[in-house]
Structure formats: structure tokens, C-alpha cells
Structure 1
């Protein structure tokens, strides 16, 4: 792909200048302050007064964040022997693996990945589907350092990146100081210098050379493994710089490590394979319980987590896709993970691959009375599954765009079900929720993540019934939708309980996935 070639060429040029770190470009930019009423920010002039360190204004917050992005890195390469610093961050903190989008939302490339990490929204919002950055929507969805500056202008924000679009494009809008490192050694040296001798409140560091090894040699190569080892050593230098700070014992640090995409075994990325889509988030700080392994944290959660730690309120009107990690709660579907089954009829998956069940969680029921017998067993009626299982049944059919699902979710997939012989008739299944308490005469809000894709004759309908009465239609899909629904429900007088039903029908058509269902007063 052209955008990948451009990125790789830039890496070659960076390698040529590796020994001339003094030529690394420094791009200081004063953030445009847009103070919010609370907390009251210091005047911009006071922020820019001395002392400064090499162009970086002094920080004011005891709470500090460091996010380290490893371009093209893979969680499978992280272990105690090869990457001891990252392994320690995991053992003393939290780790979560997840998957990216793929086309038609965006290919698995750096521009889309780092923009999702920086802004806290997916490519359909930030509008960076590739490495050209031709029409980004950063005005509506700025990077999290810009949001920190807008809310708390006295904060000190720093970006150091090997890949030049990180300081020049992704974080160009409002950070106090943006530096190009030239290569990973230069980036690390600059980051270490500022972390040790300066006083940044929030820092983003980008290391690029794992990606270079992936392009040149593939994700099964020794070079790729060595790339992770080198990056881990550089992370170790940054962590040591933090711990050697004179004020370290008074500070509250959150350190996060992540990746923008993976690589194929033969090298390269941009496609929809599980290795290309695989990413991870490591989070270390006193608010993260040691040794925590999660399945519901995604790269878009990094930005709101940093904002929370830096004392910046995430406003509803920002419409972020990510959430502060510690605010993400498991839903009923997630309780099914230990009970997921191995593949049966899905021949493209290993027979040892677990990831589906048609047994509903406690309180939920499935009405398959209108379902014909037969078809692919994994998808006969509503099923519960994971992204890594469902998307790999058949690539490049839009399943990879279900970015709003977390952990285990519900799916009705008439396309996959129809791949095996069945009795006459269409897919017709209804998923029914537990009873929710409501207050009669008041309004309630029905919320759920929804990815509804049309490809032939099908229907998707949402009903609500009160106190066992007749279901009332509250939503009917007639076009594709991928997002989080928020539907206002008028509760009848004297009503005390409500149930939600999701009915999907289809004839060899597409799918409907839902997750995180709630009905709140």
C-alpha cells in the first residue's frame, strides 16, 4: 500500500540520520487556551513564564501521565524474558487485548490507529482512514493533550515521536512542545531528558522501529522479537527517569503502553487478519489492581483515562467512543466468557477455538420458536460470541467494524447461519432482556451498542413491554447503523417493570450485533 511505503521510507531516512541526533527537529507550539470555569486555569502568560526546561513550560499537577506507543507491536511478543519492563508493568497493573476495525471503516494502518488513540474516537469520527491525513476531523475530535490544554491551560504537555506525523499531524493542534526524535534512540533520549529534568504533566512518546522490523521481516521473525526487546529497554530508560525525579515520591503516575496495529507473519499490515487487527493496552498506576487481565478495554479508552487522571472532565457533548478504564463495567453477556464453546460447524476456525454459545445469561431468554431447524449451529438464532471468534468466521464482510462491542456480545447472523442446509424459512429469532425497574409516568433511557448491517431481505426491531403487557415497537432499522443507541422511553403511569426484546429476521442477509444493554430511569 502506498501509505505504508511512505511510512517505511521515512523510517529509512530516519535511520540514516541516527548518529546526528542534534539535527532532530524541535517544534514548540504554545497551546491556545480555552479555560473552563472549573477548575480556574492560570493566565496563559503565567504558564509561559520561567522556569522552563528546553522550551517546555513547568507542570503544575502532581498527577502525571506517560503514554508510550509502540508502532506495530504485538502482545504475543511481551514476556518476562524478552520484555521484562513491560512484563513488570503488566504484573503490577492491568492489561487488555482487543482488536481494531478493518475496512470499510479503515485499514489497519498507523494514521487511523494513532488518531483513534489520541482522540478517543474511531475512524468514522476522526476521519483519518490512512496515512495521508488529507481531511482529519481534529477540530471536532482533538487529541487528548489539546483537550487538557483547553481545560487547564497551566498544564505542561509534551509529545516526542519517531514517526514525524505524530508531532506534526496527530498531536499538532495544542500540545506545548512537539519533538521529532529522528529514530527510536533519539526519541528515547529526548523523552528521558524531559521526564527527568523537565516537569511535563502529560507526555506521549512514539517508538517506530518495531514496525520497521515487521515490514522487513514479518511478525514471526527474530528481528521482530528483537525489536520488542529494544523497545522494552527504551521503556525501561523512561521508567527509570521517572523514578529518579526529585519529586517522584510526591507524584501520582499513570503509565500506559499500547500499539496502533499488528503485522502479518510475512510482514506488513492494513488488512483484516487477526494479527493485523490485534492491539493491547497496558495501564500501570495505583488505581489499577496488580495482575488484572481484562477483555473489555480498547485503544480509544486511553484518551479518556488520561483526561480523568489529569483532572479534566469528559463532557457528554464530546461524544467520545472511549471511556475511562475504571468506569467500564462488565455486563450480563460478559459473564458467559468462561462458558464459551469450541467451534463446531465453522470450518475456517480451529476446532480448539472457543468463542460462542447460544445459552443466554441469567435473566435473558431467546425465542427461537420461528427458527427453521438446521443451519450453522454457532449462529442458529441469537448467539453470544467474541470479536476474535465471530470476525474470523469469514473476513471482509463488515463484522470487523463492530468496534463498540466489548468482551462478549450478542449477535444475530443470518448470513453465516445460512451457510449450512436448514429447513425452509428465514432466520427469525428474538432476544429478550430481564425485567428492569421503571417509574410509572416518567421517562427512561434505553441504551445499547448496535451494529446493524443490511445485505438483502432482513429486519431489526426493538420492542419494550411493561408489566408483562404487549410489546411496543420503539426502534426499527431500515439502514445500516454502527454506534451506541440512546432511545427515550415514555413509561406508562403505574408501570413498575419493563422488558426489552430484539427481533432479527433475515434471508441469507447480513447481521445485527448488540452489547451493553441498559434501561435506566
Structure 2
């Protein structure tokens, strides 16, 4: 511990202490005795809620976010209490948070929102706060350490007894911060009762809004006890706040121990229930380009047994590229707008609705054996809600804790029977932050991580039961790196990768599709035989799922850039070629060739045309998407300035629809219009072959800004009651200037099929032989209510009869030389198609009927 040396700053209030029965009124005066107060939970020896400081509360001094007139803080401690700050802190940092101070919850929360201060709901009135994070935000404390101790007055105790210290607590830590509760008896040196620190709890700890109790053994002969709340070795490392301190002779009900119980270990992993098993390697901050560049034979071997592919995170429109939601994407199978964890604060996540994969497995079948190991505390504290064994590693460095995670995972694999394992490996991120992802140190780290992958795979393959097991290994990372950091919109920061090998994953080496981080969960669930409930709302799909998206069929026609600058690696290309049956009504001239009307391209080709404008958050578009981007189109020659407008319509193929039938449309899209002086109009329309058209969805920039981020859209309409026989869907963006964009993917159009014309096909007479030929006569009757064309097909030939009226019949006789007719059965088919309208789109065959003709006995 760093010694808390230097002069003590004793701060005393002129107000009476709020202690029951009472703590000494004068600091430093030891009481002869204390008369206890009986309450639920035993005798109260002392109590302090800090509310006596209310008349002393002051307005802000250095704070900028707190309302000017709010009286909400004071440096003055209650009577008998003292605050001791390291002398080197004087004159540095924000005055409101210089060491332990006292504030209302409203004042403290207003100082900095979004960091969990508002979650201290147990506190009321006035609370004691040591907030080194806020203190460090003002007056340039630089590398100055925060060290402060809040000490109670003397409390009368009985030697040889046990007392219990209870208080409400909200604690948050990252980095070197140390916090502790200490006790001293009769002026002796303090003893540490418990400690919060990285060494004890690991990195980044959130122990918020709790009521704690700590037993204290009073030595024989002792008569007075003092308590001290210590925060030291802290810089910008967050805070500790306490309220409602009580000392009782028995524990108060509803309290909990300050420290969690001793963690479970590898030996506690229960035996599983499945021969199909999963190992998920959750890397932090490992860049794909470096995996390709460095010596990573173990990851290469896994990719050769399965597939490895590039993927991308959202840009800052949905949330910064940080670990909190990067790992949440991987572990929940949904994007950040569903799991609601956009950063590392975990303020209001939606993990109850979208739990992590291990929790999901436990919910489906508690018999699954689940295990996780990580050194970053939020992985097991927030992201993984429930697994059989969760090990949080503690050590001097990420390299050390990664090796501990690997060793524990190897022990589990060697001695236990797990079904699903998550192994988090941290050192890629730690090294990238310390040295950049271009440094020699990063190369050394990545190659060491690969060797650790080799250790884990070797442990899997060395299992005695390995031959009878089916192992799936999945790996991915939470974000990339640009320079020393991440969190932004840059291509290398958003670029991640997904690897899967084993199970039902097709062996292709390089991934044939763009798998996403959200695909990890459904891949694991499918491998373990868990049926995915659509109600779970997963955004991912199992790796290996073939595409049914018509847009993806145009990928072979991709070309390189024309007017766009050179694209980064893995962004593929673009094309104006449309899928089969699709068309573009193009009325756009000039501008950037790639964006002259609707085009097809990869999401990353589009995103890197202009980063920082939200294009990268079309996370539900994958592989090939359709893009209409008048903003990018206008970047060459400013066609808008010469009076030109973007006007382009993407049309789906025609398809049959019944009169009055339902037409249902589903697609994903990413739409933006900026309410500037430039117009922009967008519509989704249903067009019918009778010339009618219905607008299903529309936006108009004259009505204001619109931003629909990576949304799934479902629209419906009804075909006209008569006249229309076919329908198609159009996505039109027109009157466009330098004002926004629209991207669409995965369109599905479903229409109620018409009841097709009906024909009854029958054999007119039994097959007969005449002059060396076999004859068969077939009749088809139009049983519908409209004229039809009929095609009759037999093994002896095919005939078409046009315009057969309702109730009329088409009769044909077929003959073939006997030598050309094999013995057996012949299938006679009558197919019917509606007569074609020369001005319409045309219709396919509607019905067909088969009749079996037995001519085996026919001889000539």
C-alpha cells in the first residue's frame, strides 16, 4: 500500500452528529460508554446518515454540468468525523470532489451522467462521496494520485465481542484504484477489513447500490473503535459513495458481504449432457489483417477445417466500437439496438430479453454444462448472466491472466465434461492500447495468442472421449484498432472477423458469405441441437446458411471503383447488373458512376465512400445490398448545382396475384434524409398490371429529417378486386439532392396466388394398335370460367390447343410406331395457361394434371 502520509485535514461541522444513540460530539474525545438502541437486527451502537449536513450544502464551484442554483455539496464532515487527504492533492482537481466530500444524489448524478452514479438508489438526503473520476476532470491534476480517508469518531465497544458495520455502498473501479474499510482500536494502527482493487477483484469492477455488512472482531480489553473508508492510488478511476452507516451487535437484515464468495474453479464444472460440444474463443482487439500477416498456424489450421471471413461492426450511429457492446453482439446474437449495451458502462442493458448464449443454454436445459473464463470483469459480471462456472482471472497483466484462462480451460477440457465453453483472451487489446496494432509488441502478442489457441485445441483433441464427440470451435473479436485505440468509425476499427470449424460448418477455408458477430450464437445453438425460437429475436443466422437473397446473385458481376477512390481490402465491389427479373427505371444523370441511381454493392464498399455519416450502421444488411445514395452521387461535378436530380426506381419481378388477394412485403433498410434546403422523396409502391399503383410507405424531406437505422420493414396491401393479375414492388428515391441515402436488402414479396384455370384430362379411348402404330386419344376439358391455352403432352408427342372456351374441350390423337414405344405405363399431362395479353407482363402455366395410361398389353 502507498502510505497515506502528510498532515491530516480535519473537517468538523458545527452541527450535531446524526448518530443513534450518538457518536462523540468532539473529534478525538473517547467516550466512556455508549448506550445502545434496540432495533430490528439487534442493538445499534452508532449510526450516521450524513443528513445533518443539509444546511451546509453549497452551489457548484468547478462543476459545469450541475445547475447553477443547486445547493448540493459540502467539504464539511459531520461532527466528530474527519477527512484526511494526501497534501499533494491540495489545489488540484475539482473542488467539489477534493477527497471525500458530501453531496446530494441529485448533485452527484448531475456532475456526470451515464456512468452509473444515478444507480445509487439506496442513498438519500446527503451521502459521502470519493469521486476521483470527477476530481481528475478539472484543474489539470495530471498524474497526481487521489488518496483520501474518511474516519468516524470513536465508537464504544466491548472487548472480546463481535460488532457489525453496515452501510449502503456504490462502488466502481477501473485501473489502479484501491478502496478499503479499515478499523483501529484505542488509537492503535489501522487494520484492513476488506479491500477492493484490481488485485482482489480484477479489472473494471461495478459493485453498485448494495447494502454491505462487515463483521469486526473486537480484541479483548479494547474499548473504542474507529472506522475508516480509504480510497487511494487512484487517478481517473471512478468512485466510491456510502450512506446510512450503522454499527450493530448483530448483522442487519437484507445486507450482504462486501466481497463475493470464493469463486468456483475448474473442478466445479459439472458433467454435461451432449456429445456435441462448443469452444468459443472470444478475442479482444485482434485485427484480421494482422492475423493474415503474422505467423498464426493454429488459427490457420482451424480456418482450413472450416471457414474464416471478414465482418464489420456498426459505426457510431448505433454505438462506438468498444468492448462492451462488441462482446455483447458476440454473446447475445443481437445488435446493440436490441441488447442496449452501447458502451462499457452497462447502464441499462436489455440482457433479460436477449441473454448471452450460456444463459440461453441454461434456460433451455439446465443440464447443459457451461463454463466461462475471463479477466475483464464485465464479461462474467454483466455479459454472461448465468453459467455453471464463471472464473474471473486476476493478475499483473493481460498476458498473465490470458495464460491463467487458458490453463483453467485446459484443465476443464482434460478433467471435466463441458458442453459449452467461452474463453476470453484480452492481451490483443491491452497491447494495442499500449503500443498500437502496428508495433512489434502487437505481433508478439498475436503470435502468442495463436499458440494458446493451439494449447486449447490440443486439449480438445486429447480428450479420452474425443472420438465420440463432435466439437465446434468458433472464434471472433469485439473490434479492431486504429493507432492506439478504437471506438470510432474508421474502417480498421470496425473491421472484425469470424471463424468457425467443425460441426455442420461447410469446409471452405475462406468464408463464402459475410458472417457477422451476431452469427456466433445461432451457430452454437444449432450445433448443440437447440431449436431457435423466432420469438427470441436473434439477428444472426447459423454459419453455413445459404443465401436466399436475390441481391446476392449479382456478386459475380462486381467491378472495381470508377469515380470512387481506391477501396480498402475486403470491401469487394459494385455493379449495375440486376438480379434475374429485377429492373431499374433510371432517370439519373451525371455524378459519381457508382451511385448514379440504384446500384448493388457490399455494405463496406458503401460505408467507406464516406465514413462518419451512419452508413456503417446498416448492420442487418449483409453480403450484397441495393443502394441509392444521392449524397455520394452529387460528389462528382455537383450535378445538383446544374439543376439535375436523383430519380431512380428499383423494381422487383412481376408475380401472380389473385383478385383482391393479399400482397405482403418484407425487407430490411437503412434510410436517412436530412432536413436541409435540398429535397428528397422516397416511396415503396405496389404496381399492378392493370395500371393501378399503391404507395405503401413514403418519406419527404420537406416534412423534416428522418433516420431509420437498420430496420426490418413489413408492409401489406390488397390487390384490386378485378382486372389485376400481377404485381411488382418498386423502391423509388427521387427529387434527390445532396441530402441522404437509402439502402435495402433481403426483399421478400409474397402474394396470394390466383386460383388457376382448371382442366380435366382423360384418356378418350384405350390405346390400340393399327398398321404398326400405337394410338392414344386424349381429351382436356376447360372446367374454369375463362378461356385458356391447353398443352397436352404424352410420350408420343406434345400438342398445344389455344383459346379453349369455358366448358369446351381440346381433343388430340397421338400415334407412334410400335418399335418406338416401350412396354409400360405412359404419363399423359395436360397443362393450361391463360391466354397471353400482348400488352401485359404475361403469366406462367397455372395448373397441370396427369393421367397414367397403361399400354403394356398393347401389341402390334
Residue 466 and residue 326 in structure 1: after superposition, are their counterparts in 2 closer, same or farther (change >3 A)?
Answer: farther
Whose Rg is larger?
A: 2
Contact 2:557/2:577 (CA < 8 Å) preserved in 1?
Answer: no
Match of 2:745 among 502, 515, 519: 515
What is the SS of the residue equivalent to 1:263?
coil
| C-alpha separation in 1, matches of 2:542 and 2:669 | 21
| C-alpha separation in 2, matches of 1:58 and 1:353 | 44
Query: Residue in 2 aligned with 1:158?
Result: 371
Whether 1:470 and 2:692 are equivalent positions in the alignment is yes
Query: Residue in 2 aligned with 1:271?
Result: 488
Partner deviation per Cα, 1:124-154 (whole Å, 9 max, x = no partner): 1111111111111111111111111111121
- 1:97-496 matched pairs, under 5 angstroms: 97-171=310-384, 173-182=385-394, 183-264=401-482, 266-292=483-509, 293-347=511-565, 349=567, 355-369=573-587, 371=588, 373-420=589-636, 421-422=638-639, 423-438=642-657, 442-456=661-675, 457-467=679-689, 469-477=691-699, 479-481=706-708, 482-491=710-719
| C-alpha separation in 2, matches of 1:492 and 1:312 | 44
Contact 1:343/1:351 (CA < 8 Å) preserved in 2?
Answer: no
Contact 1:98/1:295 (CA < 8 Å) preserved in 2?
Answer: no
Match of 2:270 among 57, 65, 69: 57
| C-alpha separation in 2, matches of 1:12 and 1:193 | 32
Structure 1 gaps of 5+ residues are 14-21, 26-51
Matched positions, count:
481
Contact 2:503/2:527 (CA < 8 Å) preserved in 1?
Answer: no
| C-alpha separation in 1, matches of 2:717 and 2:286 | 45
Whether 1:502 and 2:731 are equivalent positions in the alignment is yes
Q: CA deviation at 1:453?
A: 1.2
Residue 10 and residue 185 in structure 1: after superposition, are their counterparts in 2 closer, same or farther (change >3 A)?
Answer: farther
- 1:11-22 matched pairs, under 5 angstroms: none
What is the SS of the residue equivalent to 1:295?
coil
Contact 2:571/2:604 (CA < 8 Å) preserved in 1?
Answer: no
Query: Residue in 1 aligned with 2:168?
Result: none
Residue 60 and residue 491 in structure 1: after superposition, are their counterparts in 2 closer, same or farther (change >3 A)?
Answer: farther
Residue 65 and residue 504 in structure 1: after superposition, are their counterparts in 2 closer, same or farther (change >3 A)?
Answer: same
Contact 1:447/1:518 (CA < 8 Å) preserved in 2?
Answer: yes
| C-alpha separation in 2, matches of 1:431 and 1:74 | 37
Q: TM-score, normalised by structure 2?
A: 0.53
Residue 446 and residue 328 in structure 1: after superposition, are their counterparts in 2 closer, same or farther (change >3 A)?
Answer: farther
What is the SS of the residue equivalent to 2:620?
coil
Match of 2:296 among 56, 70, 83: 83
Residue 208 and residue 10 in structure 1: after superposition, are their counterparts in 2 closer, same or farther (change >3 A)?
Answer: farther
Contact 1:242/1:248 (CA < 8 Å) preserved in 2?
Answer: yes
Partner deviation per Cα, 1:390-446 (whole Å, 9 max, x = no partner): 111111111111101111111111111122222413211100112345566554532
Contact 1:91/1:290 (CA < 8 Å) preserved in 2?
Answer: yes
Q: CA deviation at 1:85?
A: 0.8
Q: CA deviation at 1:53?
A: 6.2
Q: CA deviation at 1:468?
A: 6.1
Query: Residue in 2 aligned with 1:35?
Result: none
Contact 1:80/1:88 (CA < 8 Å) preserved in 2?
Answer: no
| C-alpha separation in 1, matches of 2:449 and 2:666 | 41
Contact 1:463/1:500 (CA < 8 Å) preserved in 2?
Answer: yes
| C-alpha separation in 1, matches of 2:739 and 2:560 | 25
| C-alpha separation in 2, matches of 1:110 and 1:299 | 13
Query: Residue in 2 aligned with 1:33?
Result: none
| C-alpha separation in 2, matches of 1:416 and 1:205 | 42
Residue 347 and residue 95 in structure 1: after superposition, are their counterparts in 2 closer, same or farther (change >3 A)?
Answer: closer
* Cα-Cα RMSD: 2.9
Q: CA deviation at 1:330?
A: 4.8
| C-alpha separation in 1, matches of 2:549 and 2:564 | 27
| C-alpha separation in 2, matches of 1:177 and 1:444 | 50
> Normalized per residue, which structure has more strand?
2
Looking at both structures, which has the greater relative contact order when contacts are Cα pairs under 8 Å and sequence separation is at least 6? 1
| C-alpha separation in 2, matches of 1:225 and 1:321 | 33
Partner deviation per Cα, 1:452-499 (whole Å, 9 max, x = no partner): 112133222111234464332222246422312122343556866432
Q: CA deviation at 1:296?
A: 2.3
Query: Residue in 1 aligned with 2:827?
Result: none
Contact 1:10/1:163 (CA < 8 Å) preserved in 2?
Answer: no
| C-alpha separation in 2, matches of 1:248 and 1:228 | 28
| C-alpha separation in 2, matches of 1:440 and 1:280 | 48
Q: CA deviation at 1:305?
A: 1.3
Contact 1:358/1:383 (CA < 8 Å) preserved in 2?
Answer: yes
Residue 413 and residue 8 in structure 1: after superposition, are their counterparts in 2 closer, same or farther (change >3 A)?
Answer: farther
Contact 1:348/1:393 (CA < 8 Å) preserved in 2?
Answer: no
Residue 163 and residue 380 in structure 1: after superposition, are their counterparts in 2 closer, same or farther (change >3 A)?
Answer: same
Bigger CA drift: 221-230 or 102-111? Answer: 221-230
